[in-house]
Amino acid sequence: MNMNPKSNSLTVMKKQALFAAIGVAVTSLAAGAGDTGKTYKVFLYAGQSNAQGKAPIAIAEAQAEAAATKDLYQHLRKDGKWIVRDDVFFKYGPAKGPLKIGMGSWRFGSDHEFASMMGERFEEPVVIVKSAFGGASLCQSFRPPSAGLPNDEALKAQLAGAQARVKSINERDKKNDPLPTMDDIKKLYGEFYRQILADYKEVTETFEKEFPALKGRTPEIAGFVWFQGWNDQYGGQDEYAANMQHFIKDIRKDLGVPKMPFVIVAMGQNGSTPAAGAMLTVREAQMAMNDVPEFKGNVKAFRSDLLVDKDAERLMTQKDPALRERDKEECKKFAADDGYHYYGSPIWYMRIGRAASEAMNELLKNQAN
């Protein structure tokens, strides 16, 4: 059953308060967009596995029914069921349709909370276009065009390594697969950057035909959320700041929205433990985007470690085997993954999604003023 939270008076009151807080309605961001009655808002949500979302739905459901945590999920549920919205739409890979729990990944992630909050923010329909790929780095897979390719020496070394791996597999498995070429190596750079643009294009070409709520409306790009960083710890940390600047400028140019609000979820897998080494380097590079003069007021990075789910962290980081065994059942109520996936904590992901929506609202307010 589709349920539209906007129809109840409590939601209307909340929206009125929100609009009073953020000021007048946001003006059109995309060239050629019509008035607010003729548009639908598009948010792009991109990154690697944490952008996909890694919290089991079963844990979220258990928490949504448990007395101690059910209030956290109240806005996402009605009559004991997850709300399926008819005013917020979603695309992630081949999955597309009205926003519902586990859309496209069968997991719970930060994007669900973000999408719900944006649905409450706007009277117009909202579309979330998610482009998320596990194990992807900004220095390669998401590499923006203006960053260029690595130098010839680095490319040759990468080619040699790739060819050696294929040779080894061929010998082991008695196969005769062709060896990678330099063109194959070069194509790896920016492949997911290009996919983001392709995903957006697909939405604008199909959604108005498939979903009645969008028919006759013009897509208006309203913002971008970036949730990535883990893989750049392994060789890309020192160029992350430069690559991030290139990415923001390039994606804005290619989407035709020069000041598109851009939110960065800075790395926080360290949780309550101070970040160090390459993780700290990447996080500082992400947070440094707040201080780039041309990004003032239109880019916002925030620290996700400050939002840690301490119950999940405590249960998943116990060193004593006896304690881990004792708390095994309790652990299942809070977490189900490793630290690099924020312990698979629905609460931590939900906090991140809400913080991303708050950061986006701040940028949208700046855009309107």
Which of 167, 188, 209 lies at the terminal end of a domain, its last residue?
A: 188
Reply yes or no on whether the pLDDT at 26 is more than 80.
no
What tens digit of pLDDT does each residue of 45-55 get? 999 999 999 99
SS3 content of the chain, % helix, strand, coil (to 5): 55, 15, 30
Q: Which residue has the higher pLDDT, 24 or 138?
A: 138
| Residue 21 in this model has a pLDDT that exceeds 70 | no
Same domain, 88 and 113: yes
The domain of 33 spans 5-144+192-368
Q: Are residues 178 and 113 located together in one domain of the fold? A: no
**pLDDT band for position 105 (cuts 50, 70, 90):** confident
Mean pLDDT of the region 213-219: 93
What the block records as the tokens of 338 is 């490793």
> Into how many domains does the chain fold?
2
Q: What is the pTM of this model?
A: 0.89
* CATH assignment at residue 129: 3.40.50.1110
Answer with the residue of higher pLDDT: 280 or 368: 280
Q: How far is CA 29 from CA 33, 39, 155, 253, 289, in A?
A: 8, 11, 39, 13, 21
Lowest mean pLDDT among 5-14, 25-34, 121-130, 345-354: 25-34
Q: What is the pLDDT of residues 266-286, one digit of tens each?
A: 999 999 999 999 999 999 999
- Check residue 259 and give its pLDDT: 97
User: pLDDT for 73-97, tens place per residue?
Assistant: 999 999 999 999 999 999 999 999 9
Query: Given a cut of 80, is residue 34 above it in pLDDT?
Result: no
CA max distance for the chain: 68
One domain for residues 341 and 224: yes
Contacts of residue 369, Cβ cutoff 8 Å, sequence gap at least 6: 23
What's the pLDDT score for residue 37? 57
Tokens of 122: 């706007």
CA distance 113 to 43: 13
